[in-house]
């Protein structure tokens, strides 16, 4: 029996009739066609499907789309604003923190949530924060560098750019 | 061309051209391709590791709403067999159908297929298919599979022996007769699951007699070739596209059942079809890697000189031979086992065995990590036995720098090498001299600290074609490139390589930019579409792309540059010898102010009304490059570990490596390849292992039971390099895609064993999990009870 839900994704509300068994990640990828969020496993280990739900990094394979009714979701497609990349995006490219790019959207979303809560992390804190996101290409070395580099830029430009997570209710 | 006026992009840390689309979510992976009217394929897989299929009842499944069609193996025999591209002597090949027809030979073997309007409907219907299985005796262990009376995986072959592959050199009997030290060790290289983070997927449509197939593959041209042959289509009517591919590591170096099935079904049903692997399904149905058991004997003198090496290995190939499987434990393993050392006598017998397990094929390094692990563990065993510094045992046996090209005792020729500087640099980076103080300090905290060295050599390139043929490789080892300069001066490079994270769009642009005297920003590199490629591409695997495909790009760019010079000389009324191509300009040496733009030259090539006498219009070149030899990168990796005395947990406290892959095109990408490779190698050493029970059930059946390293499991990496060019190709390049995986596993294991050597521990099999180490420490009489 389809349910009527309205999820706000990247600032736009999408009223849809969906099956109650539909996962949030399926809703994003298949119902809305936002394929930047990826599915890498079926046990919530890999984190490729991570999106912000009401400001918190959430594995979109662990949540039903109906549970997101009324929530505000930000996906990788919503990270840049008017063509202006988020510091984490620039840092990932600058530090060569991606190779195949499949895990990258989930990692960047996790990093955004983390850095908005912990603006000056140690490397150990960064490694702990991303341990729920698996990357098989980079060995994490450059990802840690990128998150550290983005944290510096975000601290410098604090105030100039609204927090992604703060744009939605916490 | 004067070097001083030409910016050299080769060697520069050029930012990747791939990244903008990948960091914004705009990249298109195979599962992102959705077509109107698309149907979804789900496969029913055998829960039994070995069972005869008595009967399959599809009645209920066919009645399920949304179901388009249900097939058993017999209905799909028209897809033909899955290919094996390598034939080694004495090989006993298996019949391998996309869907099993007579019996299931491993848990996960597909037995039926459902196509429906949605994934959910297909899965619901798949659950309604009733298969009547007759369970058969199961063999999981490769050693046991070769014993008399073992259950036979393929009855028609008479035994589970796939091949016996002997390689000998020197007088092995004399070596052991002369030996002052003999060391015997069983070395297990456990089975691994590749775990590319993107699961496999295939999407296809058939329109106007043409099949378009998107696939997560490293080898789109082979998929095109086999799909055309097996499905009875002209090769010109099969377009295979490898879009963004989310990691491969060898696991996408196949022509898989699902590729042929989806192509066949799209053609037969007349509507687009998609199949996407679920991770747990992938653990069963995507190839595994490694799985060797070796009995090794080393003969040496007390001064550390190695005299001989005798090895008897059984490689578990799983239930069927996959595309490259026969070549992994043989060609890519046995020949490189002597590694960096001058070994006077060598006697290796490799046997392959069928078992009721998921097929085993290439996983990052593919045969070479097994080789490096074997020899590097034995060198450390020798060092321990004669109480000599492992670094010095290596140094003593290294092939000397002036001995290259070097003919190894296994019968291959190393192109170039200089092993001591890489060792020395790594020792310095690791503060090897100061280590014992750190060991003693750790001991005061109840912990065990160790340091481990690995000096590896690897084979890459996988060419020339004639040598490949002599070894049994059923296809050439060349690579193709086409460079097209449009009238306006925009440049496209089409490559036969098929990157999936390696950054060829950037590196190939750097190579072409230097030849054409323009910026990499003005060069677009296109790959992974068989209808855009130069014609045939071999693909991306075996660390071959740069040494073969990158060189093809270089050669094609040189051809284009030559024509640019000729046209420039004609327009500038100068001798071609005096023409400079640099900075986007073409000018006579010493007269840069009277330059033609690169675009003026390309426009002239297409206007074609003022070209040198007899010159063809147009400005493009196609090259198929077949190298004269393999290339042999090398390096030394050093891991320092600390083991918690109470829990057995290993922490890698420092990791240093000095690698030599010849000339580096983009050091940023080289380092990235090493970081990822090292992490995978550490994964094998400490965390990863596919575990079957005796019924052939994969106990490590998901990411919950199989530990892919996380960011907290690996350290930052301290990397440096030396540069020893190869004369195998004009760029002097080798390969770096697998070196990290090859070098790191023995370094990490040697470090752990070194840490525990004061307890009398000589060897432990991987993965070196906390439980295993805790038990070993307790068994030694140390540790708290």
Omega prior to B767 cis, within 30 of 0: yes
What's the CATH code of the domain at B241? Answer: 3.90.1170.50
Q: Give me the pLDDT at residue B1, please.
A: 35
Domains and CATH numbers, chain A: 3-78 (3.10.20.30), 87-161 (1.10.150.120)
Given an 8 Å threshold on Cβ–Cβ distance, is B668 in contact with A96? yes
**Could you tell me if B737 and B664 lie in one domain?**
yes
**Could you tell me if B311 and B448 lie in one domain?**
yes
Mean pLDDT of B341-368: 98
Give the end of a domain, one of B563, B590, B625.
Answer: B625
Judging contacts by C-beta atoms under 8 Å, the chain A residues touching residue B247 are: 99-100, 102, 136-137
**Could you tell me if B531 and B616 lie in one domain?**
yes
Q: Any idea of the CA torsion for A17, A19, A24, A29, to the nearest 10 degrees? A: -70
Distance of residue A170 Cα from the nearest chain B Cα, in angstroms: 24
Cβ neighbours for B554, distance < 8 A, ≥ 6 positions apart: B511, B512, B515, B730, B731
pLDDT class of B463 with cuts at 50, 70, 90: confident
- Cα-Cα end-to-end distance for chain B: 74
In a domain, B238, yes or no: yes
Which of B15, B18, B22 to mutate: most A Cβ within 10 Å? B22
**Could you tell me if B100 and B205 lie in one domain?**
yes
What's the CATH code of the domain at B716? Answer: 3.30.365.10
**Could you tell me if B482 and B423 lie in one domain?**
no
Given an 8 Å threshold on Cβ–Cβ distance, is B675 in contact with A33? no
- What is the layout of strands, in order, in the sheet containing B620-625? B523-526, B491-495, B479-485, B620-625
pLDDT class of B3 with cuts at 50, 70, 90: very low
Q: Give me the pLDDT at residue B6, please.
A: 52
Model confidence over A32-80: pLDDT tens digits?
999 999 999 999 999 999 999 999 999 999 999 999 999 999 999 999 9
**Could you tell me if B620 and B500 lie in one domain?**
yes
**Could you tell me if B304 and B279 lie in one domain?**
no
Residues A31/A3, Cβ–Cβ less than 8 Å: no
Given an 8 Å threshold on Cβ–Cβ distance, is A35 in contact with B25? yes
pLDDT class of B582 with cuts at 50, 70, 90: very high
Residue B440: pLDDT over 80: yes
Task: Identify which of A130, A132, A141 has the shortest CB distance to residue B675.
Answer: A141
Q: Give me the pLDDT at residue A162, please.
A: 72
Model confidence over B97-110: pLDDT tens digits?
999 999 999 999 99
Cβ neighbours for B430, distance < 8 A, ≥ 6 positions apart: B451, B638, B640, B654, B656
Q: Give me the pLDDT at residue B276, please.
A: 98
Residue B142: pLDDT over 80: yes
Mean pLDDT of B734-747: 97
Report the candidate in B676, B700, B672, B698 with the shortest Cα–Cα distance to residue B688.
B700
CA distance B110 to A119: 50
pLDDT class of B32 with cuts at 50, 70, 90: very high
Two tokens, residue B187: 């070395």
What DSSP string describes B163-201?
A: EEEEEEES-HHHHHHH-SEEEEEEEEEEEE----SSPPE
In a domain, B527, yes or no: yes
Mean pLDDT of B371-375: 98
In a domain, B168, yes or no: no
**Could you tell me if B322 and B226 lie in one domain?**
no
In a domain, B174, yes or no: no
pLDDT class of B4 with cuts at 50, 70, 90: very low
Residues B700/A132, Cβ–Cβ less than 8 Å: no
Given an 8 Å threshold on Cβ–Cβ distance, is B198 in contact with A130? no
pLDDT class of A167 with cuts at 50, 70, 90: low
Residues B405/B725, Cβ–Cβ less than 8 Å: no
Is A48 an 8 Å CB contact of chain B? yes
- Cα-Cα end-to-end distance for chain A: 31
Model confidence over B643-681: pLDDT tens digits?
999 999 999 999 999 999 999 999 999 999 999 999 999
Residue B785: pLDDT over 90: no
Is A32 an 8 Å CB contact of chain B? no
Given an 8 Å threshold on Cβ–Cβ distance, is A99 in contact with B32? no
**Could you tell me if B673 and B714 lie in one domain?**
yes
B250 Rama sector, left if φ>0, alpha if ψ -120 to 50, beta otherwise: left
Give the end of a domain, one of B574, B603, B625.
Answer: B625
Q: Give me the pLDDT at residue B782, please.
A: 75
**Could you tell me if B107 and B240 lie in one domain?**
yes
Is A45 an 8 Å CB contact of chain B? yes
Report how many domains make up chain B: 3
Report the candidate in B553, B552, B556, B584 with the shortest Cα–Cα distance to residue B568.
B584
Cβ neighbours for A24, distance < 8 A, ≥ 6 positions apart: A51, A53, A58, A60, A61, A63, A64, A65, A67, A68, A73
Q: Give me the pLDDT at residue A165, please.
A: 64
Model confidence over B238-289: pLDDT tens digits?
999 999 999 999 999 999 999 999 999 999 999 999 999 999 999 999 999 9
Q: What angle do CA A97, A52, A124 make, to 5 degrees?
A: 45
pLDDT class of B781 with cuts at 50, 70, 90: confident
Residues B246/B500, Cβ–Cβ less than 8 Å: yes
Q: Give me the pLDDT at residue A166, please.
A: 58
Rg (CA), chain A: 16
The three-class DSSP label of residue B639 is: strand
Residue A90: pLDDT over 60: yes
Q: Give me the pLDDT at residue B7, please.
A: 53
In a domain, B185, yes or no: no
Judging contacts by C-beta atoms under 8 Å, the chain A residues touching residue B669 are: 96
In a domain, B785, yes or no: no
How does strand B130-135 pair with strand B51-57? Answer: antiparallel
Quote the domain boundaries for residue B424: 289-462+629-779
pLDDT class of B5 with cuts at 50, 70, 90: very low
In a domain, B524, yes or no: yes
Between positions 50 and 89 of A, the ones with CB within 8 A of B are 75-77, 79-80, 85, 89
What chain A residue is nearest to B282 in terms of C-alpha separation? A41
Residue B784: pLDDT over 70: no
**Could you tell me if B455 and B512 lie in one domain?**
no
Report the candidate in B202, B246, B241, B237 with the shortest Cα–Cα distance to residue B221.
B241
Assembly ipTM: 0.97
Given an 8 Å threshold on Cβ–Cβ distance, is A98 in contact with B22? yes
**Could you tell me if B212 and B82 lie in one domain?**
yes
Q: Give me the pLDDT at residue B627, please.
A: 96
Model confidence over A150-165: pLDDT tens digits?
999 999 887 777 777 6
Given an 8 Å threshold on Cβ–Cβ distance, is B279 in contact with A46? yes
Judging contacts by C-beta atoms under 8 Å, the chain A residues touching residue B193 are: none
Residue A170: pLDDT over 80: no
Give the end of a domain, one of B625, B653, B675.
Answer: B625
In a domain, B171, yes or no: no
């Amino acid at each position: 029996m389809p349910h009527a839900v309205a999820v706000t994704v990247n600032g736009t509300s999408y009223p849809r009739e969906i099956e109650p068994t539909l996962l949030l990640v399926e809703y994003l990828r298949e119902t809305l066609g936002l394929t930047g969020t990826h599915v890498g496993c079926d046990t919530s280990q890999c984190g490729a499907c991570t999106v912000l739900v009401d400001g918190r990094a959430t594995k979109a394979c662990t949540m039903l789309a109906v549970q997101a009714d009324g929530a505000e979701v930000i996906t990788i497609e919503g990270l840049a604003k008017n063509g202006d990349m988020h510091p984490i995006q620039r840092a990932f490219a600058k530090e060569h923190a991606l190779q195949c790019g499949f895990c990258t959207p989930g990692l960047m979303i996790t990093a955004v949530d983390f850095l908005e809560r912990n603006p000056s992390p140690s490397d150990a804190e960064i490694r702990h924060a991303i341990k729920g996101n698996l990357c098989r290409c980079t060995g994490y070395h450059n990802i840690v560098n990128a998150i550290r580099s983005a944290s510096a830029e975000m601290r410098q430009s604090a105030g100039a750019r609204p927090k992604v997570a703060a744009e939605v209710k916490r | 061309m004067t070097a001083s006026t030409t910016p050299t992009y080769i060697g520069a840390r050029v930012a990747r051209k791939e990244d903008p689309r990948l960091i914004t979510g705009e990249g298109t992976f195979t599962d992102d391709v959705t077509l109107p009217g698309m149907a979804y394929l789900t496969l029913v897989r055998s829960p039994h590791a070995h069972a005869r299929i008595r009967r399959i009842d599809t009645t209920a499944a066919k009645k399920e709403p949304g179901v388009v069609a249900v097939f058993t193996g017999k209905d799909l025999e028209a897809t033909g067999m899955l290919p094996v591209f390598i034939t080694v002597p004495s090989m006993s090949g298996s019949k391998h159908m996309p869907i099993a027809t007579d019996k299931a030979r491993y848990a996960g073997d597909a037995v039926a297929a459902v196509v429906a309007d949605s994934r959910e409907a297909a899965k619901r219907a798949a659950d309604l298919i009733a298969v009547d299985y007759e369970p058969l005796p199961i063999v999981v262990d490769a050693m046991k599979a070769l014993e008399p009376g073992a259950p036979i995986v393929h009855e028609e072959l008479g035994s589970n022996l796939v091949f016996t592959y002997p390689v000998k050199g020197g007088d092995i009997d004399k070596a052991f007769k002369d030996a002052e030290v003999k060391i015997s060790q069983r070395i297990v290289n456990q089975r691994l699951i590749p775990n590319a983070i993107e699961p496999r997927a295939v999407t296809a449509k058939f329109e106007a007699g043409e099949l378009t197939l998107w696939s997560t593959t490293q080898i789109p041209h082979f998929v095109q070739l086999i799909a055309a042959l097996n499905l009875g289509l002209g090769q010109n009517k099969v377009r295979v596209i490898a879009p963004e591919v989310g990691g491969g590591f060898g696991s996408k170096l196949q022509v898989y059942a699902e590729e042929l099935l989806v192509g066949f079904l799209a053609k037969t049903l007349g509507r687009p079809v998609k199949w996407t692997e679920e991770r747990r399904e992938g653990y069963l149905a995507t190839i595994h890697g490694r799985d060797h058991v070796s009995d090794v004997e080393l003969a040496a003198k007390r001064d550390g000189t190695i005299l001989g090496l005798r090895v008897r290995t059984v490689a578990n190939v799983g239930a069927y031979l996959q595309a490259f499987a026969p070549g992994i434990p043989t060609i890519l393993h046995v020949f490189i086992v002597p590694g960096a050392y001058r070994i006077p006598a060598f006697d290796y017998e490799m046997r392959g065995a069928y078992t009721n397990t998921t097929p085993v094929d290439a996983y990052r390094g593919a045969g070479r990590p097994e080789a490096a692990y074997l020899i590097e563990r034995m060198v450390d065993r020798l060092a321990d036995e004669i109480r000599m510094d492992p670094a010095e045992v290596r140094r003593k046996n290294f092939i000397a720098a002036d001995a290259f090209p070097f003919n190894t005792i296994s019968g291959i020729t190393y192109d170039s090498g200089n092993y001591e500087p890489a060792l020395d640099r790594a020792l310095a980076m690791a503060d090897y001299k100061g280590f014992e103080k750190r060991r003693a300090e750790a001991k005061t905290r109840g912990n065990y600290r160790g340091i481990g060295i690995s000096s590896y050599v690897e084979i890459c390139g996988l060419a020339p074609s004639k040598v490949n043929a002599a070894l049994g490789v059923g296809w050439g080892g060349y690579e193709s490139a086409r460079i097209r300069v449009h009238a306006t001066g925009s440049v496209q490079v089409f490559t036969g390589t098929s990157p999936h994270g390696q950054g060829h769009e950037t590196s190939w642009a750097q190579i072409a930019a230097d030849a054409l005297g323009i910026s990499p920003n003005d060069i677009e590199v296109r790959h992974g579409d068989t209808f855009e490629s130069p014609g045939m591409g071999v693909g991306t695997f075996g660390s071959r792309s740069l040494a073969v495909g990158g060189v093809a790009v270089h050669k094609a760019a040189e051809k284009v540059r030559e024509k640019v010079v000729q046209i420039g000389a004609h327009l500038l009324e100068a001798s071609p010898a005096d023409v400079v191509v640099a900075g986007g300009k073409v000018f006579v040496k010493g007269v840069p102010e009277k330059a033609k733009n690169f675009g003026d030259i390309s426009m002239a090539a297409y206007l074609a009304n003022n070209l040198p006498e007899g010159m063809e219009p147009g400005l493009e070149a196609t090259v198929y490059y077949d190298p004269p030899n393999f290339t042999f990168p090398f390096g030394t990796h050093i891991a320092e570990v600390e083991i918690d005395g109470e829990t057995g947990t290993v922490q890698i406290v420092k990791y240093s490596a000095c690698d030599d892959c010849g000339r580096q095109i983009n050091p940023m990408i080289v380092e990235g390849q090493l970081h990822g490779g090292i992490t995978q190698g550490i994964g094998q050493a400490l965390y990863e292992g596919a575990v079957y029970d005796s019924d052939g059930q994969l106990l490590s059946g998901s990411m919950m039971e199989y530990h892919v390293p996380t960011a907290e499991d690996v350290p930052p990496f301290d990397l440096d390099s030396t540069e020893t060019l190869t004369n195998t190709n004009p760029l002097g390049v080798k390969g770096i895609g697998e070196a990290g995986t090859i070098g790191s596993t023995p370094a990490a294991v040697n470090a752990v064993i070194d840490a525990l050597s004061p307890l009398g521990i000589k060897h432990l099999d991987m993965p070196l999990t906390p439980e295993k180490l805790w038990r070993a420490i307790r068994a030694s009489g140390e540790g708290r009870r």
